[in-house]
């Protein structure tokens, strides 16, 4: 009898729950999975730093402009034109992008632009640097900024490390703070062509390695997106042979690159007919090509094979007293070799390559050769 009563009760309950065939409505709306907000810093699809560098293509230096130093100008803001180039304007940056360059290096000197304390950058100069950087960012260019002609005081680090680093860290703290909100296409470069030969190459490499490590630590702690910004660390004098040594060391960081320059052979790249220590008008022998490949093999062995990408922050040949066909061939070979070895080559232009008023190549054959490589 009890089983019958329980069975009847269960049937009545089921009947009540299914009355009219209605399904109970939810008491609240279903929760939607929110769409992730894009990180304003992450704009490059690269899983590794090498992949990042591979996307940088070929670059161009806006040389002898913001890097002009020791100019003696009463108005420090006029230092930009002291070395013969007009002020950098937005149309120039647009032209560089249109030519096919993906990267621009903006060398900046602060020597003539410090307050009396020697530690504080004059606001109007930092504003000017930011203006040029903003133009580069608007063109979606990978952009490198550094402290360029600072050897007058930075070389003193071999004798007065604390004194030199007080200024160094002060300058970089101000730069890092000003640009902390910029996306990952903005790269900070620790310094330019610095070495300490008074200590000898071994100890000199150890010292520049120490400064580079402090630079990385400073930037990483400076706030904003700087904890994950890509950083470019200068080699010893940015010289390949003197950087590819056991004494030149790098801090542990997965977003660092090494900077070297390429002006080899010097008697062709930077010497003219009046140079006393050697001069070549021509280039392109088998020995020349073997030497070029050998230098990039060194970079591969010491850095890229170990997961440290390389940027050739400057390379070039002067236009005086050269066989122009060989000069173009040199640019072609160096550019192609750098790219083949996974390096980003950034051509040095102090005003000799692209006309800063007319926005055209002063040597059309050279321009066409580089544009062909960039288009491949």
What is the pLDDT, as a whole number, of residue 1?
A: 43
What is the pLDDT, as a whole number, of residue 14?
A: 37
Of the residues 314, 352, 365, 376, which is catalytic? 314
What is the pLDDT, as a whole number, of residue 59?
A: 98
What would the 3-class secondary structure string for the chain be?
CHHHHHHHHHHHHHHHHCHHHCCCCCCCCCCCCCCCCCCCCCCCCCCCHHHHHHCCCCEEECCCCCCCCCCCCCCHHHHHHCCCCCCCCHHHHHHHHHHCCCEEEECCCCCCCECCCCCCECHHHHHHHHHHHHHHHHCCCEEEEECCCCHHHHHHHHCCHHHHHHHHHHHHHHHHHHCCCCCCCEEEECCCCCCCHHHCHHHHHHHHHHHHHHHHHHHHCCCHHHHCCCEEEECHHHCHHHHCCCCCCCCCCCCEEEEEEECCCHHHHCCCCCCCCCCCCCCCCHHHHHHHHHHHHHHHHHCHHHCCCEEEEEECCCCCCCCHHHHHHHHHHHHHHHHHCCCEEEECCCCCCECCCCCCECCHHHHHHHHHHHHC
Q: Specify the residue for token string 């610095």.
A: 194
193 catalytic per annotation? yes
CATH class of 45-375: alpha beta
What is the pLDDT, as a whole number, of residue 40?
A: 84
Q: Where are the domains of the chain?
A: 45-375
Both tokens assigned to 7: 């069975």
Q: φ and ψ at 325, to 5 degrees?
A: -65, -40
pLDDT in tens, the chain (376 residues): 444 434 334 343 434 444 444 444 444 444 455 555 556 888 999 999 999 999 999 999 999 999 999 999 999 999 999 999 999 999 999 999 999 999 999 999 999 999 999 999 999 999 999 999 999 999 999 999 999 999 999 999 999 999 999 999 999 999 999 999 999 999 999 999 999 999 999 999 999 999 999 999 999 999 999 999 999 999 999 999 999 999 999 999 999 999 999 999 999 999 999 999 999 999 999 999 999 999 999 999 999 999 999 999 999 999 999 999 999 999 999 999 999 999 999 999 999 999 999 999 999 999 999 999 999 9
What is the pLDDT, as a whole number, of residue 248?
A: 98
What is the pLDDT, as a whole number, of residue 34?
A: 56
What is the pLDDT, as a whole number, of residue 41?
A: 87
Of the residues 99, 177, 193, 297, which is catalytic? 193
């Amino acid at each position: 009898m009890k089983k019958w009563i329980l069975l009847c009760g269960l049937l009545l309950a089921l009947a009540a729950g299914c009355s009219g065939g209605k399904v109970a409505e939810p008491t609240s709306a279903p929760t939607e999975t929110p769409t992730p907000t894009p990180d304003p810093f992450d704009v490059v699809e690269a899983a590794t730093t090498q992949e990042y560098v591979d996307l940088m293509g070929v670059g161009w230096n806006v040389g002898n402009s913001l890097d002009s130093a020791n100019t003696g100008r009463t108005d420090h803001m006029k230092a930009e034109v002291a070395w013969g180039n007009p002020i950098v304007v937005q149309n120039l940056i647009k032209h560089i992008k249109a030519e096919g360059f993906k990267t621009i290096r903006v060398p900046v000197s602060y020597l003539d632009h410090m307050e009396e304390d020697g530690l504080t950058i004059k606001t109007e100069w930092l504003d000017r640097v930011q203006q040029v950087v903003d133009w580069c960012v608007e063109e979606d260019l990978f952009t490198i900024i550094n402290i360029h002609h600072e050897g007058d005081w930075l070389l003193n680090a071999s004798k007065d490390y604390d004194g030199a680093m007080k200024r160094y860290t002060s300058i970089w703290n101000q730069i890092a703070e000003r640009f902390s909100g910029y996306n990952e296409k903005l790269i900070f470069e620790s310094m330019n062509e610095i070495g300490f030969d008074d200590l000898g190459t071994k100890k000199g490499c150890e010292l520049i390695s120490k400064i580079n490590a402090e630079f990385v630590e400073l930037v990483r702690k400076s706030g904003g997106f700087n904890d994950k910004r890509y950083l470019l660390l200068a080699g010893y004098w940015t010289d390949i042979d003197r950087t590819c040594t056991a004494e030149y060391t790098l801090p542990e960081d997965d977003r660092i690159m090494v900077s070297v320059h390429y002006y080899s052979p010097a008697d062709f790249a930077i010497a003219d007919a009046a140079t006393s220590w050697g001069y070549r008008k021509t280039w392109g022998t088998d020995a020349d090509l073997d030497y070029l490949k050998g230098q990039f093999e060194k970079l591969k062995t010491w850095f890229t094979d170990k997961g440290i990408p390389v940027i050739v922050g400057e390379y070039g040949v002067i236009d005086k007293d050269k066989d122009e066909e060989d000069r173009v061939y040199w640019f072609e070979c160096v550019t192609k070799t750098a790219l083949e070895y996974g390096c980003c080559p950034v051509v040095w232009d102090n005003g000799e390559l692209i006309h800063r008023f007319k926005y055209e190549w002063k040597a059309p054959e050279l321009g066409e050769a580089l544009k062909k490589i960039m288009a491949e």
